[in-house]
Amino acid sequence: MADDTKRSEMTSLPAGGKVGPRDHGGGLDAAVARFGGAREAWIDLSTGINPCPWPVETKTLPKGCWTALPDQAAAQALEDAARALWQVPKGVGILAAPGASALIARIPGLAQAGRVHIATPTYNEHAAAFALHGWEVLSAPQSTVQARVIVHPNNPTGAWADPALLSGLPLVVVDESFCDIAPERSLLPHLPRKGGIILKSFGKFWGLAGLRLGFAIGDPDLLARLHDAMGPWPVSGPALSIGAAALADREWADATRQRLAADALRLDQMMERAGAARAGGTDLFRLYRVDNAADWQTRLAQAHIWSRIFPWSDSLIRLGMPAPQDWTRVGAAL
C-alpha cells in the first residue's frame, strides 16, 4: 500500500471490538434504485471481478451434468486441474467448494474459539465468520492469539504478506482470492502442513463469480472436516466441468494477466488526470485517494457507474477494471 495512506484510516475493527455488518462490493440493485437507469446499462466497477471472463460458451458440457448428481470422475478432474495449476504438493489436501465464501463461513468452526488476529484494513468477511463462531477478533497482533487470517494480496490495499506470518499458530488462513494475477507470489510453499489453509477463488481472476466455485488447500485433516461439514456434492456438475477446463487453460490465463496489467495502468492514468492519487490495489482493482470518496461515488453513479467506498475511510475509493467496451464511458464520467 502506498505510504500516503493515513494510519488513522486503517482501522476498521478495534482490537477486541465487535464486528460490524459484512461490507461488500456489489449492491448494484440499491444503486439502481437510488440513481435510476436500467440495470443492464450500469457499469459495475465495485467488485474487482475480471470483466472479461473465461469464455464459458466455448465449453461443451458433458451430457447429463444438469440432471445427474455430480460424479467422482468429474470431481477428480477438477481437483487434478487445480493441483496442476497451483502446484499443490503431494500430501497437501485440496477441496473444491461452492465459492470461497462457503469455506470462509465454516473455517472458524475447525478449532475451539479463542482469539484471532486479522490485520486491518481488509474486507470483513473473515472477521464476521470468526465472530459468529465465538472468536474474539483482534486487529492488532498479539502474542496470545490462536489463529491468524492473512489476505494475500490484501483487499483493498493490495499489500503482499510476509511469509513469516504463517508460522507459530494452531490455525493460519491465507486468503489468496486475488493472487492469480501473480501466481508466483503464492504463499503455498510457506504454508504449515499442520493447521494451514489457503483459499482460492475462481470467480475473481476467471471472472465467473456466478458459477460459485472456490478451493481450500492445506492441512488434509482440516479439509476432511470441511468436506464433512459441506455434505455430499458440494460443487455442481456444470461447475466441475467448467472449472476443470478453465483452470487448465494456461494460454488464456497468461494473456489475461498481460491484459489486466495494461488495464490497471490505463485506469491509473485516467484517475490521476481526474485528480485522484493511487493508494494501492492489484491488477483486478485499484485503490485511490480522493478529496471526498462519497462525492466521487455519487458523481460516478450519476453516470451509472458503480464504485466501492469504505465505512472506515472518507477519502479512499476502489475501482475494478472496466470491460473493453466501457472505457470510453468511464473516461467521460471522470
Q: Taking each helix axis from N to C terminus, what angle separates 237-247 and 72-86, rounded to the nearest 10 degrees?
A: 30
Q: What is the CATH number of the domain that holds 111?
A: 3.40.640.10
- Do 108 and 219 share a domain, yes or no? yes
pLDDT band with cut points at 50, 70 and 90 for residue 22: low
pLDDT band with cut points at 50, 70 and 90 for residue 11: very low
DSSP string of 186-199, one letter each residue:
-SGGG--TTTEEEE
**Mind listing the pLDDT tens digit for each residue in 157-193?**
999 999 999 999 999 999 999 999 999 999 999 999 9
Sequence-separated (6 or more) residues with CB below 8 Å from residue 221: none
Q: What is the CATH number of the domain that holds 256?
A: 3.90.1150.10
| 102, part of any domain | yes
Q: What is the domain extent for residue 16?
A: 7-52+251-333
Burial 203-225 (b: 16+ CB within 10 A, else e): bbbbbbbebbbbbbbbbeebbee
Number of domains the chain is built from: 2
Q: Which of 250, 278, 303 is the last residue of a domain?
A: 250
- Do 216 and 287 share a domain, yes or no? no
- Do 291 and 319 share a domain, yes or no? yes
Q: Rounded to an integer, what distance in angstroms lies between the CA atom of residue 199 and that of residue 151? A: 9
Strand partners, 199: 175, 216
**Mind listing the pLDDT tens digit for each residue in 80-132?**
999 999 999 999 999 999 999 999 999 999 999 999 999 999 999 999 999 99
- Do 44 and 106 share a domain, yes or no? no
- Do 244 and 255 share a domain, yes or no? no
- Do 74 and 217 share a domain, yes or no? yes
In angstroms, what CA-CA distances link 148 with 7, 131, 237, 248?
21, 13, 34, 31
- Do 63 and 74 share a domain, yes or no? yes
